[in-house]
Amino acid sequence: MTRHAVVFIAVLLAAGASRAVAQVPDRLLVTGTLAFDGEATLGDFTGTTTAVAGRLEGAETLAGVRGWVTAPARTLVTGNDRRDRDMYKSLEVERHPTLRFDLDQVVPGRPDGDSTAVTLRGRFTIHGVTRETAIPGWAWLDEAETRFRGAVPLNLKDYEIGGLTKLLGTLRMQEQIVVRIDLVFRP
């Protein structure tokens, strides 16, 4: 390997590492999607909302960033009105109107190109129940915006969500779902 190639690779690695520890300013959530993938007797489905709000509280390093994201539970839609009504009933949206994630810690991983592997450690509050969770994913950081994409399995029973069976158990939704998050924050 030539000396120039070694220097070039070293510069690229240093640039990726600097993104992982660069200062992150305060940012507001400007666009995002919260979705979940579920499995049921009558087929798999996805619930989605783009009615999200949130904030990142900046820090000297990515690891120090804190924040929160919320969404009204009633804005989740699956494309099937009957399923949506059942979902709202199971989530008791009148009693527990908000889904929330509170970010306690970002665990940076290895940079890869313009992104950095991260794990978001924090707490989901769903159906009035708060549980600690870790969401693995990818972060993109630059002067204009901070973006995160990730996914995590979640068990509905952990959040005391019932009503997963209908017609004496012949129609059933699996209690295990996958929550997917895609969020963009800007100054």
Q: Which domains does the chain carry?
A: 3-186 (2.40.128.110)
For the four alpha carbons of 82, 84, 87 and 92, in that order, the dihedral sign comes to negative
For the four alpha carbons of 89, 81, 41 and 166, in that order, the dihedral sign comes to positive
Find tokens 């009957």 and name the residue.
82
Q: Cα(50)–Cα(44) distance, rounded to whole angstroms?
A: 20
pLDDT tens figures, 93-133: 999 999 999 999 999 999 999 999 999 999 999 999 999 99
- Where residue 16 falls among pLDDT bands split at 50, 70, 90? very low
Q: CA nearest 101: which of 67, 72, 76?
A: 67
Burial class of residue 95, CB neighbours in 10 A (0-12, 13-18, 19+): exposed
- Does 7 score more than 80 pLDDT? no
- Does 9 score more than 50 pLDDT? no
Q: What's the distance, CA 89 to chain centroid?
A: 23
- Where residue 173 falls among pLDDT bands split at 50, 70, 90? confident
pLDDT tens figures, 46-97: 999 999 999 999 999 889 999 999 999 999 999 999 999 999 999 999 999 9
pLDDT score for 168: 57
Its pTM stands at 0.84
Find tokens 């901070």 and name the residue.
146
Q: Cα(116)–Cα(16) distance, rounded to whole angstroms?
A: 8
